[in-house]
């Protein structure tokens, strides 16, 4: 509503403040992570986090600037372009400088399943557009009411541009958007209620092992053996409960799987004895030959029921300030963080892993918030989505809940079951309609055994990807060109 009548400069400032408030409220926990695990003084961690928040706030600021420019050319009704511009900036936030698409607007509907079904068509960006459309329609109506009848007929100037007569905004945008939301809600409710994909495909009982290992304890030599034995014990418990496929969290082994022959043999023997595949996370050293550098990967290993290694997936999208430090020379004041962060290399292949006659995929940690990355797995033939993570870093903050709900959106987008094993929670199983079948509490050990299915069906989003988001970028560019010509 503020963008209906203000200057370009103030529009940018309003967007910047909005972004700062939003990202401070949703990413406050990063400061604690850097203090606790990056050995930074609190004041330095606050500065680093503030820099990230300021960068992310640029996207709402650009959104505000672009929308205001369009409104100057076309008047307050042009606020209905806001959903298109918003999605364009969200796509930019996903990809620019490796991207950080945490808490996109569409995730606000992750638990509102009738609305969230839109993700099966246009991904989370389509849900973002729908939410923004409601706000835009209400803003147009409110802007029209604020002018008042007495002001109708008077000319107004804004940003040096003559906008014409101020008139009461029509209620048509509100009526149209409400009708769309109601239609989506009815369609989404029926789609989720029918649950066709929960009755097709081969059924498998999946066992999730949530070790709840404190990050500070994990790599202590005195604790390593006990932690490993706990995982083996909990795995046997899951097998006794009928699990046919076991999943451990990210970096769950307190050793390098390929380097510790004795510990690896215990995992292989357990898989062979129980005749179940085991998926788990472990760091991986790949030593260079002929002068090539040694590389360090955050990897996921799949051990077959016969005890052999069925496949390895190397994490492709690394966490900035967690697995590598961007702009190390610029962030010289954060030297302890640079030294504390492991210098991982990124994988280069969306490798699939075999479970019996089927292929599955795994996204490691925050990779799961990248819609297109998960889609690449499905296009490649993945019949089940898995994700392994270690959310112990976050502590008792909102981050584990944010992470789980964002992961659940991938199940709707791809029409796949999503199975998640997290060190400290939330572990769970989500069906292809976003329903949470199983879910653990955070910060407690847990063994969960639940049903999932291998699926080969396909959603519109899985087939066509982010067509709506890229169309929004093109439409935004076109609107700016038209606005520039009109103003001139």
The answer to whether residue 315 is catalytic is yes
Determine which one of 250, 383, 414, 438 is catalytic: 250
What are the residues whose beta carbons fall under 8 Å from the beta carbon of 170, sequence distance 6 or more? 77, 140, 144
Q: Which of 290, 462, 263 minimizes the C-alpha distance to 361?
A: 462
Euclidean distance between CA atoms 483 and 196, whole angstroms: 46
- HEC letters along the chain: CHHHCCCHHHHHHHHHHHHHHHHHHHHCHHHHHHHHHCCCCHHHHHHHHHHHHHHHHHHHHHHHHHHHHHHHHHCHHHHHHHHHHHHHHHHHHHHHHHCCCCCCHHHHHCCCHHHHCCHHHHHHHHHHHHHHHHHHHHHHHHHHHHHCHHHCCCEEEECCEEEEECCCCCCHHHHHHHHHHHHHHHHHHHHHHHCHHHCCCEEEEEEEEECCCCHHHHCCHHHHHHHHHHHHHHHHHHHHCCCCEEECCCCCCCCCCCCCHHHHHHHHHHHHHHCCCEEEEEEEEECCCCCCCCEEEEEEEEECCCCCEEEEEECCCCCECCCECCCCCCCHHHHHHHHHCCCCCCCCCCCCEEECCEEEEEEEHHHHHCHHHHHHHHHHCCCCEEEEECHHHHCCCCHHHHHHHHHHHHHHHHCCCEEEEECCCCCEEECCCCCEEEECCCCCCEEEEEEEEECCCCCHHHHHCCHHHHHHHHHHHHHHHHHHHHHC
The answer to whether residue 365 is catalytic is yes
Q: How many CB atoms lie within 10 A of CB 13?
A: 15
Q: Which of 98, 70, 121 minimizes the C-alpha distance to 458?
A: 121
Euclidean distance between CA atoms 128 and 89, whole angstroms: 11
Determine which one of 315, 323, 367, 383 is catalytic: 315
Euclidean distance between CA atoms 267 and 449, whole angstroms: 19
The C-alpha torsion from 178 through 182 and 184 to 189, rounded to 10°, is 160
Q: How many CB atoms lie within 10 A of CB 477?
A: 12
Q: Active-site positions?
A: 250, 315, 365
């Amino acid at each position: 509503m503020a963008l209906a009548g203000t200057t370009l400069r103030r529009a940018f400032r309003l967007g910047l403040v909005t972004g700062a408030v939003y990202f401070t409220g949703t990413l406050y926990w990063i400061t604690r992570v850097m203090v606790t695990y990056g050995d930074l003084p609190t004041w330095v961690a606050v500065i680093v986090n503030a820099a990230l928040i300021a960068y992310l706030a640029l996207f709402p600021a650009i959104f505000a600037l672009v929308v205001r420019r369009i409104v100057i050319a076309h008047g307050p009704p042009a606020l209905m372009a806001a959903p298109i511009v918003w999605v364009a900036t969200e796509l930019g936030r996903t990809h620019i400088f490796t991207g950080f698409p945490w808490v996109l607007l569409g995730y606000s509907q992750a638990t509102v399943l009738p609305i969230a079904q839109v993700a099966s068509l246009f991904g989370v960006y389509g849900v973002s557009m729908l939410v923004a459309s409601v706000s835009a329609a209400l803003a147009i109506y409110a802007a029209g009411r604020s002018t008042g009848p007495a002001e109708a007929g008077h000319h107004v100037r804004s940003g040096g541009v003559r906008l014409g007569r101020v008139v009461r905004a029509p209620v048509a945008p509100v009526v149209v958007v409400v009708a769309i939301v109601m239609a989506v809600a009815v369609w989404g409710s029926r789609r989720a209620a029918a649950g066709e994909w929960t009755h097709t495909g081969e059924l498998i009982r999946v066992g999730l092992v949530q070790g709840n290992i404190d990050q500070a304890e994990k790599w202590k030599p005195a604790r390593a053996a006990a932690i490993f034995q706990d995982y083996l014990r909990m795995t046997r418990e899951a097998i006794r409960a009928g699990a046919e496929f076991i999943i451990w969290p990210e970096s769950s082994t307190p050793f390098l799987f390929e380097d510790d022959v004795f510990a690896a043999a215990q995992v292989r023997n357990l898989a062979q004895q129980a005749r179940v595949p085991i998926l788990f996370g472990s760091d991986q050293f790949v030593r260079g030959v002929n002068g090539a550098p040694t590389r360090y990967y955050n990897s996921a290993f799949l051990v077959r029921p016969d005890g052999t290694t069925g496949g390895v997936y190397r994490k492709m999208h690394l966490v900035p300030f967690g697995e590598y430090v961007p702009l190390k020379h610029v962030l010289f004041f954060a030297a302890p963080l640079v030294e504390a962060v492991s210098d991982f290399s990124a994988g280069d292949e969306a490798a699939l892993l075999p479970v019996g006659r089927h292929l599955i995929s795994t996204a490691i940690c925050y990779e799961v918030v990248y819609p297109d990355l998960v889609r690449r797995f499905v296009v490649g033939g993945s019949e089940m989505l898995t994700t392994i993570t270690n959310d112990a870093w976050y502590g008792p903050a909102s981050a584990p809940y944010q992470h789980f709900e964002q992961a659940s959106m991938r199940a709707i987008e791809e029409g796949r079951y999503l199975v998640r094993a997290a060190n400290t929670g939330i572990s769970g199983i989500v069906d292809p309609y976003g329903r949470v079948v199983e879910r653990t509490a955070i910060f407690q050990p847990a063994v969960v055994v639940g049903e999932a299915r291998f699926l080969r069906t396909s959603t519109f989003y899985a087939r066509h990807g982010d067509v709506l988001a890229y169309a929004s970028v093109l439409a935004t560019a076109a609107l700016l060109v038209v606005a520039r010509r009109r103003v001139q």
